[in-house]
Chain A
């Protein structure tokens, strides 16, 4: 026999409302706000759970209840009992199909918080809706049917929630009433989920055994039916989990300017929603991308001037100086401003029936900036539906409806941004079709592919010219590229010896060596290989600032990454050296035995075997190791670089 866990709707102190409404209202002026999403498969009882939350917080009124009772009998799926799902399945079409098809927002409140719930569908083709609902959420409730356990959809939803940056996940094991509230069933599901969560990088989640239908562990825990459960009820957890806005306040100050407020010639204010940090009159700020600095004169609101404003508030700022600042600019902490760039790597979610057209111009909107952007052919598509491990990479030339991929994109002019992982407000963007004006995609910026523009460096007295002058040399990056076993490291080593004898100050960055230290956290996926090259490029750049001639030996098989590094450097300082060795020659050498492993299939993604090598088209220097010895090649390279100015 089971107990009815929730005989009465149970969040509110109705007696306080009745006896002292003013005291009650006073209490409720200071509630926080938490936004969350619920995700689950079609029959996991998601709508029923939300209906239950609304019901328990008395967000359902008598007349709605009356129509619920008659609807439950007519089209309900719970026999003669109340079918809470009917409360939240909104549009007529979907009521008939019995599934939710879009994102709906629901509201309820407890004594401690107001909640906005994005109800997102569990149906396969609606990745788009879930990403939409998740984009504003602090927390995700992942529903699992206790009878079915962790399904492919469960993994997919969890992966998407994680991808969109939701830090708090709740695994709600629902329909516990249908498995007799069995502890072992619950724990087996949790263990199963934990293994998967660790695999995709979810650090933490909270698992709760519930029955949305019966009400167990929804408002109070433990339910008499689950005396073995020691955690919080779902509502208790929702009431206490940290809200993302608090974290945003701890960051550097940023406010994208939405609107310039100019009622008359004497007043010029900049209006916007603070995306990060706090601001006070007297703070020194920098306008990005122009880089100009000023001081906050006042924080103007309808209710008078403020002493302080924080992330999450909409304000109007005035500055002490008359400087240019308009919609799209970002007012930021002077010492810690965001950067501007026009080339990025990003994760893109495609939301249109018409597939992504690489190279076509779309409107990109990020914060208050709207610019034309082109997306390159995706580096890969993320297989969200992979059975077992969502997130595996697929080759892709485009992205179709509901596809998610990683691609480079370029904007027609630099935009102010931050990586999405640091700021949703300055790292999330939408793509708009210029013909139809439809929102066709959404994305999250990873990083800039270019040396950031208008970054504000701490001025140093001894600059790069001084460093180079003291060494009596022009800094260079000698970038050796070629197949594994082509002789890059050997030749680079010989070149460095020769330069050293000529009193040149050099440093050799070798691929294998760098992976033992700086890049030991990186693997060999395409993304990691790109990051490997990016970091090496940054290090090489710093060394040229120090006046050194840097030699690097990396396979670096893709033109795009070599171009990325080239663009990091001062004009003329990047020398691409193509160590041109035919595959059969390199394979015959096979110094490290890697080709053998690749041919046997034990080494995946090996350049030249099952991963392409894109030959340089305009390398400054090309050496042919079939006709030249190591010494000859090194001499040739030295002879070519010495005359360069």
Chain B
């Protein structure tokens, strides 16, 4: 029987998730509500069916996600029969950290620090993330089981060798493992799988007329009244969609008429800009930006 690439990727991801469920004492699945998270959650439901996945979902919230994301998040957790934990960095909340006034501090405090706080708070020793190796150069070398020190640091030169499909989940108290079950999936695989499996995703991935402004070369969506318009700035309705979803003031849209999944894939295949290009956070520090963030504990 011929197994297709999607069938083999699915089997590998399920195998990875079951290893974690069997070997970690307190696993959690990081759920960002994006398309990769959607696929990861779907795979988790498949991996443990008829049981619900034996771990909770954790959303490290920044309070600045798109409204559509919050709506889908709550519904998906309920459908999957999983506990949903939402963590908002109390210090960032208190200081009113936001992407408009605080620049890189926004990502650092809400996401990087918030994630560390949440993992420490709940005592999770293994956390699933939806990162893929094809996303970015420093990801290409990361292991599927990525070992982190007690302070969540990542040392690219001291990773455990990973052979066959044998994963070493042993760790000392306080240390943790980030697990990437989608490591070997590409963006196209993700889309094909979403279509083949009928996985529900945030509607923002499909083109629709939405209120937008143009800032620093990025096309931003005015998702709520917190968006501070500059004098004379007027939101313009444009047919847009998103290739990746994060905090709405930091996520660039693309102008598009692709209102169905197959049209999105069509555009993706014919397009010439890479997925993370719409994200402001990778650009600082030249080519080593993401690698540096990861050493500091960013997922």
Contact = CB atoms under 8 A, between A and B. Distances in A.
Nearest to A132: B161
A549 to B, nearest CB: 46
A277 to B, nearest CB: 11
Interface string B113-153: 00000000000000000000110011011000000000000
B274 A258 contact: no
A39 interface: no
A95 interface: yes
B46 A302 contact: yes
A271 to B, nearest CB: 6
A213 B163 CA distance: 31
A617 interface: no
B40 to A, nearest CB: 14
A368 B140 contact: no
B25 interface: no
Size range of the chain B interface in the assembly: 35 or more
A67 interface: yes
Nearest to B175: A437
Interface string A63-74: 111010001000
B149 to A, nearest CB: 12
B133 A261 contact: no
Contacts of B291: 91-92
Interface string A18-44: 100110110011111100000000000
B2 interface: yes
B75 interface: no
B86 interface: no
A93 B186 CA distance: 25
Interface stretch (A181-189, A286-294, A311-319, A572-580): A311-319
* Dominant secondary structure at the B interface: helix
A363 interface: yes
Contacts, number: 208
A263 B50 contact: yes
A558 interface: no
B67 interface: no
A12 interface: yes
A29 B265 CA distance: 13
B252 to A, nearest CB: 12
Nearest to A67: B287
Contacts of A314: 10-12, 14-15, 18, 47
A131 B195 CA distance: 36
A612 to B, nearest CB: 34
Size range of the chain A interface in the assembly: 35 or more
Given A267-B50, A314-B47, A429 B2 contact: no
A58 B188 CA distance: 12
Contacts of B2: 30, 32
B262 A21 contact: yes
Interface stretch (A97-105, A448-456, A599-607): A97-105
B3 A102 contact: no
Interface stretch (B88-96, B164-172, B230-238): B164-172
A518 B134 CA distance: 53
Interface string B15-56: 100110110000000000000000000000111111110000
A17 B159 CA distance: 40
B273 interface: yes
Nearest to B141: A104
B165 A425 contact: yes
Contacts of A93: 156-157
Interface stretch (A108-116, A505-513, A530-538, A584-592): A108-116
A430 B287 CA distance: 34
Interface of A: 12, 14, 17-18, 21-22, 24-25, 28-33, 58-59, 61-65, 67, 71, 88, 90-93, 95, 101-107, 109, 113-114, 116, 119, 128-129, 131-132, 135-136, 245, 249, 258-259, 261-263, 267, 269, 271-273, 278, 300-303, 308, 310, 312-314, 316, 327, 351, 363, 365-368, 424-425, 428-430, 432, 437-439, 442
25 contacts: A25-B262, A30-B4, A31-B5, A88-B140, A90-B137, A90-B141, A95-B287, A103-B141, A105-B140, A107-B133, A114-B189, A135-B163, A136-B165, A259-B48, A267-B50, A271-B18, A273-B11, A310-B1, A314-B14, A314-B15, A367-B166, A430-B168, A439-B160, A442-B161, A442-B163
Given A31-B4, A64-B274, A132-B163, 5 more contacts: A18-B266, A249-B1, A261-B50, A271-B48, A303-B46
